[in-house]
Amino acid sequence: MLTEEDYKNGQVLLIDKPLKWTSFQVVNKLRWEIRQAFKIKKIKVGHAGTLDPLATGLLVICTGKMTKQIDTFQGQIKEYTGTFVIGASTPSYDLETEIDNTFSIDHITSASIQETTKQFIGEIEQFPPVFSALKKDGKRLYEYARAGEKVDIKSRKVSVLEFEITKINLPEVDFRIVCSKGTYIRSLAHDFGKALDSGAHLSELRRTRIGDFKVNDAFSIEKFIETLPSE
């Protein structure tokens, strides 16, 4: 069992983020549980890479002196699995918002889906979703979006190392992607739909790897709490 000193000197905790939790909620929960367990007032806890509330999977959490390594971990290659829904788009590019447009999928085949993935491998340009936590002029983009305000967003270069279609059951398409820091899988879903002369949004997302850290080695929040000393 880890001690108070272990946490202060620095630990890397692998947590499997549950659906609908924000990454900050996970950090706050773990910080609170560690403080309660050791009766301490303060301890540094941070995460190495945000996951959207509607995504699950690997969060790398650092404590104490290991929080200095967060930038290093954030820069590492990430792997995701998930599902696109073809033929419908949403303003947030996922299920956070309602479907705003529907499109025909009659012309789409398994072959055209496989062929389209080639457009998204390598260095690509993408626009971050309007519904994201990125900041512009001191406000998060989702604050502008929810207020119905338009805002200019610049595209960014990201790298997709692998893009594999693992199952096709239209309108659903399952995938696995290995990509660089800063890649928005929601944006990729949106752009993928457009490339198919249709529309698409992300219905499910799971982060399975960050660098050498794997979700299979991660604890649920409940299991992590069980590792802490209790009264």
Beta strands in the chain (DSSP E): 12-17, 45-47, 55-63, 78-86, 88-89, 101-102, 122-126, 135-136, 139-140, 156-169, 172-179, 200-210, 213-214
Q: Are strands 200-210 and 78-86 parallel, antiparallel or unpaired?
A: antiparallel
Q: Which of 6, 16, 52, 217 is catalytic?
A: 52
Confirm whether 52 is a catalytic residue. Answer: yes
Contact 227, 218 (CB under 8 A): no
**DSSP code at position 120:** G
Residues designated catalytic: 52
